[in-house]
Amino acid sequence: MHREKPLKVDFLVLGCGIAGVRAAIELAPAGQVLVLTKGELYESSTQYAQGGIAAALSEDDEVSLHLQDTLVAGDGLCLEEAVRILVEEGPKLIHELIEWGMKFDRNGTKLAFTREGAHSRSRVLHAHGDSTGREILRALMARAKSLKAIGVQPYAFVLDLIVDGGRVVGAEYLDEKTRRTHKVYAEAVLLATGGLGQVYKETTNPTVATGDGVAVAWRAGAALSDMEFVQFHPTALYVENAPRFLLSEALRGEGAQLRNIDLERFMPRYHEAAELAPRDIVSRAIVMEMHRTRSEFAYLDMTGLDAAHIQKRFPRIYSTCLESNLDITTDLMPIRPAAHYAMGGVATDLNGATSLQGLYAAGEVAATGVHGANRLASNSLLEGLVFGAYAARAMVAQKSALRTASASSRPAADVPAPSQAPHPKEIEKALCTVRSLMWEKVGVIRSGDQLRSAVERLQAIEIPASPPSRPYYEARNILETARAIARSGLARKESRGAHYRTDFPLKDETGPPKHSFVAKDSKVAFKPNAPALNRTHATAS
C-alpha cells in the first residue's frame, strides 16, 4: 500500500453534501479547509432530496409551531434544545442561502410553500418543483468555489480516522484515481458523510450512502446513539430489477392517496391524518396492508389530481416514472417502503462535538437528538444547513486549543492487504446476505426473535479480505453499521417512532424516554434525555 507524505490543513471536512459544504464555507475565514468526497462533487444524498426544506417563513406559520410539530413527530425522544436551534436558526440561514443565489419556487414574488406529513402548516420550500436538494447544493458549491481557502478532493475514500492520544487528528484516505493512500492532518475533523441506506436491500438512498462516517467513528472509539431508529420512506417506486426511486411525500401533500392491491384506500383506518400521518405510521400501514392482501406492493393514486399541475410541480418525478412507462397522472404507481434516513448516528452535543476530542459530526451521520425517534418530513436538509454551520463555528472557536498532530500518529484501524484478492462476487455475495438480513429482520416491523437472529448472523459474517479498494471498504462499513443497528434494536424493548417491535408493541412509560448509546466492544446502554453537553460523554457499558 503506497503512502504519500502527510498533508496538513487547518480543517478537514469529510463529505460534500449540504452539511459539509455549509461547514466549509463557515470555516474558510479561519484557515485552510480540505473537503474530501468519495464520489463526484455533486454525488450525495442532498443531490437527490426532492421534497424540500422546512422553515417557519410563511405568514400563517410560527417557529413555535414548527418546534411542536418536530417534537410530536419525534415521539418523545427529541432533544428540545437541539430542535429549538433548528427551527430558530433555520429561517436565518435560508435567507442567507437566497442571498447566495438559491432560487426557491415562488408564487409571483412570494415564496411557495407546500405541506407534508405531520406538519400543521404549509412550510416546506422547494425548488424546480422536486429538485430542492440539487438547487441548494448548486448555490452552496458556487459560494464555496468563490472562497480560496476551500479545496475539494473528489474520489477520495476515507479509510479511517487518525487518532493520537485519544484525539482525532486527521484521516487516511484512498485516492481512487491513483490507487494510492494519503494521510491528512488537521486541527479539527468534521464528519459530514451522510446516510446509511445501502445497509438495506430496499433503499431510496444513492449508492454512496454506505454508513462510512458511522463506521470510521465506531472504529476510532466514538459513541453512537439511537442507531435503531431508521426511517423507511413509505412510497418508493416498486419496479422489478430497478433501483427504488423515491416518490416524494409532497405528492401526498398535494392530495395523492394510498390504495392496497384491491384498490381500497386504507390510511383513514390507521390514522386520523390519513396519508399525511407521520412516516413511520404510513410505512407500517403499507406493510400491514401488503401482508393482509398478500401483495408485494401497494399503490399511490394521483389520477384524481390536476394533471397539468402535477407535471409542473413534480417534473423530475414525472419524467423519471415515464422511463418505466408509468405516467403518474394517469397510472396507479406501485410503491412499497424503503430505507430512507437514519435518525441516529455519531453522538454529538449541540455544537457537533463527538465523544472524541477533535472530531465533530453534522448532518445525517450525526445524532444530535433533533429528530428523536422519527424525523419530521423536510427537516433533514434544514438540519444539515443549521448544524453544519454550528459545528464549524465550534471548530473555529476551539482551534487555538487544539494542538497540531504529530506525523507519528496512526489510523484508528489498519487492515492489512492480503497477497491475493478474492473474486468481486465473493464480496457482493456477503453484501447481499447483510442487506437481506437487515431488510427481513431489522426492517419496518421487527420482533425480538428476528433481531436476535440478525445480531448472531451478522456477527458471523466476514467480508472477504481484499487489497485496498472502495468496494471492499464500503462492504466493511456496511457490515459494521448493520451490526450497530441490529444490536441497538434488540436492546430497545419498546415500540417508539420508527422502531416497532411486535413483541413490545407499546412505548415504555415506566420512566422518561431514553436514548441508546453504544461504542466499540461495549454493550448498548440507555440514558434519559439529558442536557446536550452530556450526550457525547455517555458511556455504553
CATH number, domain of 478, equals 1.20.58.100
Count the domains in the chain. 3
66-71, long-range: CB within 8 Å, 24+ apart, which pairs? 66/90, 66/121, 66/123, 68/120, 69/118, 69/119, 69/120, 69/121, 69/376, 70/370, 70/371, 70/372, 70/376, 70/379, 71/372
Nearest to 37 by CA among 186, 245, 196, 213: 213
Give residue 252's domain range: 235-338
In a domain? residue 497: yes
Cα distance between residue 172 and residue 185, in whole Å: 9
Nearest to 283 by CA among 444, 450, 443, 437: 444
The label of the residue with cell 410530536 reads 72
Nearest to 15 by CA among 227, 168, 210: 210
Residue 206 sits in the same domain as residue 245 = no
Cα distance between residue 302 and residue 312, in whole Å: 14
- Annotate 342-368 with b (16+ C-beta within 10 A) or e (fewer): bbbbbbbbbbbbbbbbbbbbbbbbbbb
So what's the pLDDT on residue 179?
86
In a domain? residue 70: yes
In a domain? residue 449: yes
456-464, long-range: CB within 8 Å, 24+ apart, which pairs? 458/434, 458/482, 458/483, 458/486, 459/483, 461/430, 461/433, 461/434, 462/430, 463/427, 463/430, 463/431, 464/422, 464/426, 464/427, 464/430
User: How is residue 452 annotated by DSSP?
Assistant: H
Cα distance between residue 518 and residue 480, in whole Å: 12
So what's the pLDDT on residue 424?
74
CA contacts within 13 A on the Cβ side of 442: 33
With beta carbons less than 8 A apart as the criterion, state whether 129 and 104 touch.
no
- Catalytic, 279? Answer yes
Nearest to 186 by CA among 171, 199, 204: 171
Cα distance between residue 10 and residue 399, in whole Å: 8
Question: E strands of 188-330, at which residues?
Answer: 188-191, 224-225, 230-237, 245-246, 257-259, 298-301
Residue 384 sits in the same domain as residue 268 = no
Cell of 112: 411557495
So what's the pLDDT on residue 389?
97
So what's the pLDDT on residue 425?
82
Residue 197 sits in the same domain as residue 281 = no
For every residue of 150-208, DSSP letters joined together read EEEESSEEEEEEEEETTEEEEEEEEETTTTEEEEEE-SEEEE-----GGGSSSBSS-TT
Residue 396 sits in the same domain as residue 328 = no
Residue 80 sits in the same domain as residue 196 = yes
Of 294, 313, 338, at which residue does a domain stop? 338
Catalytic residue (choose from 84, 123, 219, 279): 279
Cα distance between residue 128 and residue 388, in whole Å: 24
CATH number of the structural domain spanning residue 109: 3.50.50.60
So what's the pLDDT on residue 407?
43
The pLDDT profile of the chain, 541 residues, written as one tens digit per residue, is: 445 567 999 999 999 999 999 999 999 999 999 999 998 765 555 555 556 899 999 999 999 999 999 999 999 999 999 999 999 999 999 999 999 999 999 999 999 998 887 899 999 999 887 678 889 999 999 999 999 999 999 999 999 999 999 999 999 999 988 889 999 999 999 999 999 999 999 999 989 999 999 999 999 999 999 999 999 999 999 998 777 888 988 899 899 999 999 999 999 999 999 998 888 899 999 999 999 999 999 999 999 999 999 999 898 899 999 999 999 999 999 999 999 999 999 999 999 999 999 999 999 999 999 999 999 989 999 999 999 999 999 999 987 555 444 444 555 554 444 444 556 788 999 999 999 999 999 999 999 999 999 999 999 999 987 777 889 999 999 999 999 999 999 999 999 999 999 999 999 999 999 999 999 988 999 998 765 445 554 433 3
The label of the residue with cell 472562497 reads 147
With beta carbons less than 8 A apart as the criterion, state whether 208 and 44 touch.
yes
| Count of positions (residues) in the chain | 541
With beta carbons less than 8 A apart as the criterion, state whether 2 and 172 touch.
no
With beta carbons less than 8 A apart as the criterion, state whether 240 and 536 touch.
no
So what's the pLDDT on residue 76?
94
In a domain? residue 207: yes
Cα distance between residue 8 and residue 166, in whole Å: 19
With beta carbons less than 8 A apart as the criterion, state whether 231 and 280 touch.
yes
Residue 506 sits in the same domain as residue 390 = no
CATH number of the structural domain spanning residue 276: 3.90.700.10
Residue 375 sits in the same domain as residue 305 = no
In a domain? residue 367: yes
So what's the pLDDT on residue 40?
76
CB atoms within 10 A of CB 155: 18
In a domain? residue 11: no
With beta carbons less than 8 A apart as the criterion, state whether 26 and 202 touch.
no
So what's the pLDDT on residue 538?
42
Residue 287 sits in the same domain as residue 158 = no
With beta carbons less than 8 A apart as the criterion, state whether 261 and 255 touch.
no
Residue 211 sits in the same domain as residue 247 = no
- Report helix, strand or coil for 274: helix
Alpha carbon 271 to its chain centroid, in Å, reads 26
Residue 363 sits in the same domain as residue 427 = no
Residue 375 sits in the same domain as residue 320 = no
So what's the pLDDT on residue 50?
55
In a domain? residue 322: yes
So what's the pLDDT on residue 404?
45
So what's the pLDDT on residue 253?
87
- Report helix, strand or coil for 264: coil
Cell of 18: 449540504
Residue 327 sits in the same domain as residue 353 = no
In a domain? residue 532: no
